[in-house]
Amino acid sequence: EVQLVESGGGLVQPGRSLRLSCIASGFTLGDYTLSWIRQAPGEGLEWVGFIRTKAQGGITEYAASVKDRFIFSRDDSKNIAYLQMNSLKTEDSAVYFCTRDGTRSGDLDNWGQGTLVTVSS
């Protein structure tokens, strides 16, 4: 069974950093692009960005709202992906989901349960 499990969320002050982890099981992480999606409380879904496979050059793309502050990485040998969030702002408060790209049309065919990040002083 394909599973994605996020961890690392919590309460953090503005300007600080936080690293989220996404542990994959039931499939070979290295074969898939991983995307991060966030959802502020009571709001819709927002694409944060993705990290392609190493075979695809490990290319990363980011939403403008997080570019130069967030960094995606992956350790395929451990089946873990990371989202390093720096210089956090209150508007980054959201549930963060890691998702697997289904490779057909940028579809996100498996989602983690999400981890809540709250940025507040």
If binding is defined by CB under 8 A, does position 108 make contact with other proteins? yes
> Which helix or strand (DSSP H or E) is residue 35 part of?
strand 34-39
Choose the binding region for other proteins from 11-19, 24-32, 73-81, 104-112 (rule: CB under 8 A).
104-112
Residues 6+ away with beta carbon under 8 Å from 57 = none
User: Residue 66, CB half-sphere, CA atoms under 13 Å: how many?
Assistant: 25
d(CA 113, CA 23): 11
Residue of the chain from 45, 75, 78, 87 that contacts other proteins (CB under 8 A): 45
Q: How far is the CB of 117 from other proteins (least distance, A)?
A: 15
Binding-site ranges for other proteins (CB under 8 A): 35, 37, 44-47, 49, 61, 63-64, 97, 102, 104-114
